[in-house]
Amino acid sequence: MHKLTVPIPDEAIRALRAGDQVSLTGIMVTARDAAHKFLVETYVRVDQPTQELELYQELKSILNGGAIYHCGPVVSKNPDGTWRFVAAGPTTSIREEVYEPEVIAHFNVKAVIGKGGMGPNTLKANQEHTAVYLSAVGGAATLIADAVKEVVTVYKKDEFGVPEAFWVIRVEDFPAVVTMDAHGRSIHDEVAAASQSRFDELVK
């Protein structure tokens, strides 16, 4: 079990191999479909960002050496107005494949956490920018919510809705498995190839 603390140094990322179990501690931010589209269209695919500049500074600081979590949580508001994560498992990551390599490169993200794995562009971005993709267990929502010790803040909640907002959270011992490392290995590709050859035998 590798213990990772955010911000994650490059040498800790390089030490990880596909198949390793990890536990993360520190600050991470949830981002899914609307958030990725927003990040790339507002900040990355422009000559110079001109909109939402205050949020840009906040996100740059959170994401530098940081972790993005593909998650649309169930949240509950405490009587004192703060938020609490009730259920927070990962959502399917591949939908962000068109955005993630640019997000990793632009913001210096070190760990992308989700489920189901990502494609060749993210695998390449992992190698080029020393990052990893971590699989959390899909549906393990209550257990993961238990690892979320604090909701630090939330951005874009009213505009994107609860599941799609940027939730900045502090986690302790968040459990995950390295399924795409920084050395070009993807468990997703390996399992896909092995299951394809077994399939070919079964339908012959």
Partner 1 sequence: MNDLTEQFVELIRKAATELPPDVEQALVAAKERELPGSAAAGALETILRNVGLARQLSSPVCQDTGTPIFEIYHPQHVSTREVTAAVRRACALATQRAFLRPNAVDSVTGINSGDNTGVDFPTLHFHEWDDDAIKAQLLLKGGGSENVGAQYKLPDAQLKAGRDLEGVRKVVLDAVLRAQGEGCSPGVIGVCIGGDRGSGYIKAKQTLLRRLDEPNPDAALDALERRLLSDLNSLDIGPMGFGGRTTVLGVRIAAQHRLPACYFVSIAYMCWANRRATVVIRDGQATYA
Q: Which residues are catalytic?
A: 36
CB of 60 to partner 1, least distance (A): 26
User: Please, what's the b/e burial string for 175-186 (b: 16 or more CB within 10 A of its CB; e: otherwise)?
Assistant: bbebbbbbeebb
* 196 contacts partner 1 (rule: CB under 8 A): yes
* Residue nearer to partner 1 on the CB measure, 7 or 116: 116
- Distance of CA 121 to CAs 11, 27, 124, 159, 192, Å? 22, 25, 5, 29, 17
Stated as kind and residue range, the H or E segment containing 105 is: helix 100-107
Cβ–Cβ < 8 Å for 86, 75: yes
Q: Figure out which of the listed residues 92, 121, 127, 153 binds partner 1, where binding follows CB under 8 A.
A: 92
Q: Give the C-alpha separation, 174 to 172, whole Å.
A: 6
Examine residue 192 and tell whether it contacts partner 1 (CB under 8 A): yes
The residue type found at 55 is L
Beta bridge partners of residue 174, listed in sequence order? 24
2 near partner 1, judged by CB under 8 A: no
Mask of contacts with partner 1, 107-146, x by CB under 8 A? Answer: --------xxx-----------------x-xxxxxxxxxx
Q: Does residue number 91 form part of the binding site for partner 1 (CB under 8 A)?
A: yes
Contact set with partner 1 (CB under 8 A):
19, 21, 34, 71-76, 86-89, 91-92, 94, 115-117, 135, 137-146, 161-163, 175, 177, 179, 187-188, 190-192, 194-196, 198-199, 202-203
